[in-house]
A and B are shown apart, each in its own frame.
Chain A
Amino acid sequence: MAAASPSAAAIEHSRLLSKQHSDGGWGVIPIQSRLGRFTSFDVSEFEPVTGFEEAWKYTPVKLLSTLIDEPLDGSRPQIESSVEGAATVEWVDRGSKRIGEVGKPEDKASANAWSHSSGAWVIDIEKDGGRVDLQRTGSAAPAAGHLVFNAASGSTGTIVLRNVGSAQLAENLEISVGDGAVLTVVTIQDWTAESTQLSSTYATLGRDARLHHLAVTLGGSVVRMTNSTHLAGQGGEAELLGVYFADSNQHLEHQIFVNHDAPNTKSRVNYRGALNGDNARTVWVGDVLIRPSAIGTDSYEENRNLLLSDGGRADSVPNLEIETGDILGAGHASASGRFDDEQLFYLQARGITEDEARRLVVRGFLSGIVQKIHLPDIAEDVERAIDLELGGRAE
């Protein structure tokens, strides 16, 4: 656990092999296990959120009571889409079998969104593969949303979701990657400054399926993205990536849960964030569970944060639960460091202006993650957005 105050030095736990939550051979999931959380489709079955819960303790829940507790506008939202190749975009009503195949709400906001949405946009990548780009513009009224992304067995596809405009949104996203399919999902949170979003992603991977997921979170006053990925089929691989950039008074939170539940599954979690300005706040929680069924697991998670100024705070909390000794490896690294005056001096002493120096450092730091997704148009978009965040000219 590395809760970094602005001046905290880098903390490393590289390639740590831990058996801190051994099940003692009884096959009983310990009470503190990430799997043990209450789940329900019905919001009324959840206890009130106080902010003291494990799931909520880093979140400014007072600012989110509308999304967590109040009725939401769940009508069919506008979404622009463009489709290449073998893929479809359709609306299904609540009650459709396409909804609820993957996820079951793990917190009250997710259940609230579930209870109020009137249906879901379903994106299917068909066997021959394709790409779908979605642009969703937020609405003024507090809203509930639901999306379903499905990659047919053996398909290769990409789904990009861009979120723009002003929003108060609680939503669920179900991702299903069929046997042998390869799905790349990018979600870009580029909301206006006052927006709030609570987004819950549930993903499940079939046999030898691969999911590459990138979350890019830049805009909004409070944005919380949870991602619960279930490696359910043998040989499945999840690469969960993220970049975020918090300015003054922004709270950007990412909670990831990888559930290794089949033999020879692999996960790589890698999130990087930059913080700039007073009360810039980021939270990253990475829970990895390796169940007794998941022999041969190979798992590694990493989070790095770069504090560009004083007054920001980055929490970085990796957790490993390992219930079988028979794994390839499991490790984590977490580090939060400052971009300090000595670094600035060094770069300036080589002729680089202060603005350029900051841009150089942040771009380099974040773009390494974005490039892993191998979508050049997305990498360009994100780099331009990061430049804008830094107040620099977009090139």
Chain B
Amino acid sequence: MTELQIRDLHVSVQTEQGTKAILKGVDLTVKSGETHAIMGPNGSGKSTLAYTIAGHPKYTVDSGSITLDGEDVLAMTVDARARAGLFLAMQYPVEIPGVTVTNFLRTAKTAIDGEPPAVRSWIKDVKTSMENLRMDPSFAQRNLNEGFSGGEKKRNEILQLELLKPKIAILDETDSGLDVDALKIVSDGVNRARESTDVGVLLITHYTRILRYIRPDFVHVFVEGRIAEEGGPELAERLEEEGYDRFLNNAKVG
């Protein structure tokens, strides 16, 4: 049983105009087996939260804490966080020339497990996961994300989720830019990971559509750098009908 705890998190970025506060007191707990959806308007700080958990150097934590089973995540390097069991499926996966998908996956798996995977079962696992995600075998020999379409990049992120078996996975708009079929395929991948590893999931999305495939236990409304409301799956439906006006007005008044 793993628990990711975020407490009163304040995060800023350096901009040309000076320091800009983005996260303004985030409290959130994600446990093994739970799925949390985060929804909120553009620019409210969802990706900032995701990147801060993963340790992107652009973001400065001004106060608050992030712990994984009591361990101080903020004190860890980016790679140590991943080895501790955190995974971020990125909104914009990065292209890496010169590194094939195969080579990358094996290196990452070795880094995370602390030892190389057993060759035969590993090759089989990779092949099976790629088939499940309807990725053509030729992708294995291509350079990581280089020239991949938007949807192919997202599948490749979920491929890693399946193979690296993190304890807590953050999916930043993995559903954006997917066609109807791909949405189903990618959701199935996430669900397989949930069933086989009991991974805790933090799912950032703009659309309720994906929540019909990946049922969340909790829905959080993210507005202006903090969680403005929490509820169950029904909250997502309500947001779809009403939009974020209610929260934005509140925020302005407050």
Give the residues in chain A near B160, CB-CB below 8 Å: 350
* B77 close to A (CB within 8 Å): yes
A350 touches B111 (CB 8 A): yes
Given contacts A350-B108, A350-B160, A356-B111, contact A362 B98 (CB under 8 A): yes
Cα–Cα distance between A364 and B160 once the two chains are bound (Å): 19
Other-chain residue from B57, B81, B98, B108 in contact with A352 (beta carbon distance below 8 A): B108
Contacts of B73-97 to chain A: CB distance below 8 A: 77-79, 81-83, 87-88, 90, 93-97
* B63 close to A (CB within 8 Å): no
Give the residues in chain A near B143, CB-CB below 8 Å: 364
Question: Which residue of B has the minimal Cβ distance to A357?
Answer: B79
Select the stretch in B26-34, B99-107, B124-132 that faces chain A. B99-107
Contacts of A352-375 to chain B: CB distance below 8 A: 352-354, 356, 360-366, 368
A350 touches B96 (CB 8 A): no
Question: Inter-chain contact count A-B, CB under 8 Å?
Answer: 80
Give the residues in chain B near A360, CB-CB below 8 Å: 99, 103-104, 107
* A56 close to B (CB within 8 Å): no
A364 touches B103 (CB 8 A): yes
Cα–Cα distance between A360 and B103 once the two chains are bound (Å): 8
Cα–Cα distance between A347 and B81 once the two chains are bound (Å): 12
Select the stretch in A18-26, A119-127, A225-233, A336-344 that faces chain B. A336-344
Q: How far is the CB of B73 from chain A (nearest CB, A)?
A: 13
B96 touches A361 (CB 8 A): yes
Q: How far is the CB of A186 from chain B (nearest CB, A)?
A: 21
Give the residues in chain A near B93, CB-CB below 8 Å: 346
Q: How far is the CB of B87 from chain A (nearest CB, A)?
A: 8
Chain B residues touching A, range: 20 to 34
B90 touches A346 (CB 8 A): yes
A351 touches B164 (CB 8 A): yes
Q: How far is the CB of B147 from chain A (nearest CB, A)?
A: 11
Question: Which residue of A has the minimal Cβ distance to B108?
Answer: A350
Other-chain residue from B78, B103, B107 in contact with A349 (beta carbon distance below 8 A): B78
Q: How far is the CB of A91 from chain B (nearest CB, A)?
A: 42
* B168 close to A (CB within 8 Å): no
A351 touches B82 (CB 8 A): yes
Given pairs A345-B56, A360-B107, 20 additional interface contacts (CB within 8 A): A306-B98, A343-B96, A345-B54, A345-B94, A346-B90, A346-B94, A346-B96, A347-B104, A348-B55, A348-B82, A349-B55, A349-B79, A349-B87, A350-B108, A354-B79, A356-B111, A360-B103, A360-B104, A363-B98, A364-B98
5 contacts between A and B (CB under 8 A): A343-B96, A346-B94, A348-B77, A360-B103, A364-B99
Instruction: State the 3 A-B residue pairs at the shortest beta-carbon distance, nearest first.
Output: A365-B98, A364-B98, A351-B111
Residues of A whose CB lies within 8 Å of any CB of B are: 304, 306, 337, 341-343, 345-354, 356, 360-366, 368
